[in-house]
Amino acid sequence: MLQGKIIDTISNTADAIAIDQSRCLRMRFNKSTCSECIKHCRFNAIRIDEGVDIKRNICSECMLCVSVCPSGCFDVKAMDSYSMIARLKRLSNSVPVPVLGCNARADIKTHEKTACLGFLSEDHIIALSVFLEGRLQINLTGCADCRNGFIVDKLKKRMESIAEKTSLDVFEKINLVEDRLELCYQDISLDRRGFFKAIKNLTFLQAANLFENITPDDNTRSYSAKKVTVRRDLLNRTLRLLPEWNYTQVLDAYYYNFRIDQGCNNCFACVGMCPTGGLKISAKEAGPELTFNSSLCSGCGLCEGFCMNNAILIERGFRGHNPFEFCSVKNRLLCNT
């Protein structure tokens, strides 16, 4: 259909991986041993030496580096996760079950096309399962013939991990479809006016993404800038919508606790080292005090490794009253727990 070809051409903008070296833990602290991106890269396309580099000629753009980097060094150009979820949510009013898929092949039936689905972290999957009122299908029918076919197992393991750690019904809300015969795809029926309106809206959305999400290639971003990762922000937004039992489960599984021992001398160097702004100095009557905000912590452990007194411990599972507030760490001494 002409409609499908035109929309597919507009939405099939070439995706690539953007690099912000100021976010890389090893660029921020030369003694960091983080190698998550390298460990997950099947084609050995990532090198971290004097800088962070991707060998574009061998990179398959599976986007696993985007989903595993704890500090958000990598991102998908020309794609906005927030807009993607919003469009899928709106589509649920037009079709029985929206379909999400990648843009690797033009013949893949989807309502929303993205880069390779390796960027879908557990945080993304949780957000999709909560924000979408109905079900979602992820079209993986073309993965068997793709060199990034290993992404299918990654997505399955991520969903299994969510199910093991929480009681969220991700398998009921999200279907990973590998067989074309099992795909329930329905075209969005549009009259002539609606068709051209859809093209116009899609064009504006793509243009906005191109301008807002491309990271400069000159790597001039400030190392002092604080920025929470997209997937953490998505999970924060999702957390506010969960009932109490799921809320507690997600806090235990995906949020972090910050503790210090008696060796802490309030040098506050960890505040400057933190890439996400999870630590800050708060003014108190007794003097400046170190405070921690779990919703801004990605668990990268950079503060822990940088502390010259070995006084910091980052552990999984938030233990405070409100993960969205900066709370004093003075009363979280290791010797008291």
Strands 136-139 and 174-177: parallel
The residue extents of the domains of the chain are: 2-13+77-213, 17-73, 255-336
Q: What is the CATH number of domain 255-336?
A: 3.30.70.3270
The predicted pLDDT at position 206 comes to: 44
β strands within 153-297, DSSP E? 174-177, 256-260, 279-284, 287-292
* Cβ atoms of residues 156 and 176 within 8 Å: yes
Q: Which two tokens stand for residue 304?
A: 């822990």
The pair of structure tokens assigned to 261 is 């021992």
The encoded tokens of residue 145 equal: 């013939």
From the DSSP assignment, how many helices (H) and strands (E) are in the chain?
Answer: 13, 13
pLDDT computed for residue 183 by the predictor:
95
Report pLDDT for 209: 41
Give pLDDT, residue 216.
39
Residue 92 has a pLDDT of 81
Same CATH topology for 17-73 and 255-336: the answer is: yes
What is 259-307 written as a DSSP string? EE-TT-----HHHHH-SS--EEEEEETTEEEEEE-GGG-----HHHHH-
- The pLDDT of residue 196 is 52
102-109, Cβ contacts within 8 angstroms, sequence gap of 24 or more: 102/142, 103/11, 103/12, 103/13, 103/15, 104/142, 104/146, 104/148, 105/142, 105/146, 106/8, 106/12, 107/142, 108/139, 108/141, 108/142, 109/139, 109/183, 109/185
Q: φ and ψ at 37, to 5 degrees?
A: -65, -45
Residue 330 to residue 262: CA distance in whole angstroms:
10
Query: Which residues of the chain carry a pLDDT beneath 70?
Result: 1-15, 189-221, 331-337
CA atoms within 13 A on the CB side of 27: 23
Cβ neighbours, 10 Å, residue 310: 11
Question: Which CATH class name applies to 17-73?
Answer: alpha beta
Cα–Cα–Cα angle for 181, 88, 97, nearest 5°? 35
- Predicted confidence at residue 190, as pLDDT, reads 54
For the record, the structure tokens of 68 come out as 């595993």
What are the beta bridge partners of residue 99?
Answer: 137
**pTM of the model as a whole:** 0.84
